[in-house]
Structure 1
Amino acid sequence: MGIAYQAGPDPRIRRGADGGRDYFTAEELERAAWGFLQKGAQVGLFHGPDATVGAATVVESYIWRGKDWDLGDGTVVRKGDWLIGAILDERAWQLYKSGRITGFSPQGQARRITRRSTE
């Protein structure tokens, strides 16, 4: 079980690896989570080629609607976050146990929207 994507900006992240800082609103994230299920909930490894698809079987996918939930390791699940539960295949399980896999990272396409001030 893990956070697939959190709603809104994470105050701990100032800039992503690509130099930008993108995020979804809770409403946008919910639509993305639904689309993931509608398209077959495929899971691969390391954003790699299609040969890694099937690394896990998604058995739960939902939007957290409860109070903030502190997992005790510095991670807090907040209202609107997308959670996924998955059963890993043997290779993915070994990678997880060795620390090479530490979470989910959705892969897909999006359109960047630049928000303008309303002032």
Structure 2
Amino acid sequence: MSLVLNIPQERELRRLIDYERATCSVEGELVYRCAFPFRPDDELQTELIERGALATKTEGRRGTIVVITSEGYSYFLEKARAERERVRREKRDARLMAFAAVLGAACVVVGFLLGRFVA
């Protein structure tokens, strides 16, 4: 995931995406992309533009506007995918450790039995 955001930036991006879905979609399908007013005094908006989640565009009659980039749209999907992958790795590691513990216990029992009956 190339886009790294802090919690306030995530909240702002989520708010913009939710607003766009609520106002620019029909039956869950995005019909058109929203354009938000460019506010250079808004720190969060500036940070999101610098990170690449938002982009500025200059339009003739409206001046400079802000739109959500493809990285901005995919940020939460990528974050969820990375979390699922992390959980999968943790479960795999736990299974490997449990298998190693069982195998180690079996080796101790076999060694004990061999030492008891062979000697």
TM-score, normalised with respect to structure 2: 0.25
Structure scoring higher RCO (CA < 8 A, sep ≥ 6) equals: 1
TM-score normalised by length of structure 1: 0.25
The structure carrying a bigger helix percent of its residues is: 2
Higher Cα Rg, which structure: 2
Give the structure with the larger strand fraction: 1
